[in-house]
Structure 1
Amino acid sequence: MVTSTEPAPVVPPADPPSPSEPPRRRRLVAMSVWGVAFVAGWFGIGLPTDPLYAFVWLWTATVAWNSHRPWRTHLRFARDWLPVVLLLAAYNLSRGFADNGATPHVLELVAADRWMFGWLLGGDVPTVWLQERLYDPEAVRWWDVLASWVYFSHFVVALAAAVVLWLRNRDRWAAFMRRWAFLCATGLVTYFLYPAAPPWWAAKYGLLEEVARISTRGWRAFGMHGAGNLLNAGQIASNPVAAMPSLHTAFALFVVVFFLGSVRRRWWPLLLAYPLAMTFTLVYAGEHYVIDVLVGWAYVGMTFLVVGLAERWWRRRTTGRVEGPPAAEPSVTS
């Protein structure tokens, strides 16, 4: 009697790990070292609010995250980002000359805020009304701490979002940077054409009730006196009459709008809470009027509209150039 046995199934060998896949332990160690160095720089030098200083930290973060890759790949970050950082540095420097000795606009901004909110706040502008009820010169409250962190986020959120896009999708990164550059450029042009002073400046020269500039005081609650060193130095050196529009709130809304279509709608309220928190921070801290914020939001809408139309025009133009004109039909002669 002959018995037959079925052959045992052949189990294919497990795929070897891809050489491009980083060992988790190596990435964890590299990011831990970066985190320790960042905290040390944060306490010793200050939070990275200067574009060049922020560039160094962002670049080293990408190196730590992709530490398994060869160095030539890390040089691509410098190639792509150095022009962006130089433009930001030039923007910060040129903004300081925006007033050109002209008298800044103040009274119409105060009048606009009073027209919008005076009936509700007893004739006060929102900054004065908020500081009278929330600001205590002798004590730092929890909302002061939150406001300082929200204010600082202006200097890193947009850059950090752009770095993530650069790592994951270069086309979306390019789209992000085109819109961001346009937003910065239109804001800078407005600073030259319409120099405007913030509430703390107006109060300093007696054009508004007493207003304190308190955007960085919240860090004192944790003994982080050096955290705002660079930010405070930048505030002293920057142009004090570049308040219209508020690019702080414009950047916050810009980042949210750019990513809004990529997340589920249930997360939209959380994302939209960020520009609202930035608005409260800037108005409460004496950095901007509400009218500055509204104009900044309008600039965001203009940015997406204008750059989107320009991109569609360019795609039609380049597509037509690649495809070329339709071939002429041969003539028929009898």
Structure 2
Amino acid sequence: MRRWAGEGATLRGDRRVTGLAFAAVLQFLLMAAALGAYAYGRHLADGRPERAYEHARAVWGLERSLFLPDESSLQKGALRWDGWVRAANEYYVRVHFPAITAFMVWVYFWRRRAWPRVRAVILGSAAAALLVHFAYPLAPPRMLPGHGFVDLMTAYGPSAYATEPGQGITNQFAAMPSLHVGWALLIAWGVIRYARGRWRWLAAAHPVVTLLVVVLTANHYWLDGVAGSAIVVAALWATSRIPALDDRDRGRAGASARRDSVGA
């Protein structure tokens, strides 16, 4: 009898592991398909360079009317020492997708209760950004003539883009919004919210560094970062209003409620 009970427990354990593995693979395929569709959608939105340059001039003028720092002046000042450029380009090219992927893996396996909300925020922000790419093509600062920008990825490498606009699968006219900044903010929010220990506050540096990198390398305007952050903040707010995406630690909440009732 004991042997049969042990075999039954082992079988149930094996089925549970198989079920968890199947669920993880399913989630991986879902997110890979969704982000792949987002990347391909960005490519399809690449087709109106005249509008992209017109919008670039409009964004530049709006930033100056808002007294935002001049990106070209900042880049010129930073280039007095160009030792940072290669590292900044590497950060721009190599960190964005690996960081959001590592964040998703961490949330899914170690903060499972938060996964439905994080997934919804990532998918919702990607969908909103894609709509903006179609509605508002925008040439990045490095492609804006007459303002003295240096295309640092071309000059120093590595580059995330083809030599000429329209080549390759990456849309160079999709500067608005910057999900580099938006998803960096999401990562910082998630780590600070769900992790434990004082070290988690270091994550707040990620969106700050990302914003500086995308601006100083002339890949984005300030307002691109603002727009990307606003989309993520709006998605976080929207998901906080949906009970099915409640990501609070109910165990701790329940324990606190029981302590309060005992104290009363």
Q: Please tell me the TM-score bracket, short chain as reference.
A: 0.7 to 0.9
- 2:250 maps to what in 1? none
More displaced stretch, 185-194 vs 162-171: 162-171
Paired residues, what number? 225
Q: Do structure 1's residue 198 and structure 2's residue 148 form an aligned pair?
A: no
State the Cα distance separating 1:140 from its structure 2 match: 4.8
Q: Distance in 1 between matches of 2:89 and 2:205?
A: 16
Counterpart of 2:213, as a letter, is: T
Residue 130 of structure 1: which of 59, 70, 74 is its match?
74
**Per-residue Cα deviation, 1:304-334 (whole angstroms, up to 9, x for no partner):** 111221x22788xxxxxxxxxxxxxxxxxxx
Q: Distance in 1 between matches of 2:28 and 2:102?
A: 12
Percent of residue pairs bearing the same amino acid type: 24
Determine if contact 2:187/2:203 at 8 Å carries over to the other structure.
Answer: no
Residue 35 of structure 2: which of 88, 101, 108 is its match?
88
Q: What TM-score, normalized by structure 1, do the two folds share?
A: 0.59
**Per-residue Cα deviation, 1:77-100 (whole angstroms, up to 9, x for no partner):** 332211211111111111112254
Counterpart of 1:179, as a letter, is: V
Q: 1:272 to 1:216 in 2, by over 3 A?
A: farther
Task: Point out the structure with the larger helix share.
Answer: 2
Counterpart of 1:116, as a letter, is: L
Q: Do structure 1's residue 249 and structure 2's residue 181 form an aligned pair?
A: yes
Structure 1 residues not aligned, in runs of 5+: 1-18, 20-68, 221-227, 316-334
State the Cα distance separating 1:71 from its structure 2 match: 7.8
Structure 2 residues not aligned, in runs of 5+: 1-9, 11-15, 247-264
Q: How does 1:22-171 map to 2 (within 5 A)?
A: 74-101=21-48, 103-104=51-52, 105-117=55-67, 125-126=70-71, 128-135=72-79, 140-141=82-83, 143-151=84-92, 152-171=94-113
Determine if contact 1:147/1:215 at 8 Å carries over to the other structure.
Answer: no
Which structure has the larger Rg? 1
Residue 300 of structure 1: which of 228, 232, 235 is its match?
232
Determine if contact 2:91/2:213 at 8 Å carries over to the other structure.
Answer: yes
Q: 1:171 to 1:72 in 2, by over 3 A?
A: closer
Counterpart of 2:173, as a letter, is: V
Counterpart of 2:25, as a letter, is: A
Q: What TM-score, normalized by structure 2, do the two folds share?
A: 0.73
State the Cα distance separating 1:270 from its structure 2 match: 2.2
- 2:260 maps to what in 1? none
Determine if contact 2:89/2:153 at 8 Å carries over to the other structure.
Answer: yes
Structure scoring higher RCO (CA < 8 A, sep ≥ 6) equals 2
Q: Do structure 1's residue 312 and structure 2's residue 236 form an aligned pair?
A: no
Q: Distance in 1 between matches of 2:224 and 2:97?
A: 18
SS in structure 1 at match of 2:51: coil
Alignment root-mean-square deviation, CA: 3.1
- 1:184 maps to what in 2? 126
Q: Do structure 1's residue 270 and structure 2's residue 202 form an aligned pair?
A: yes
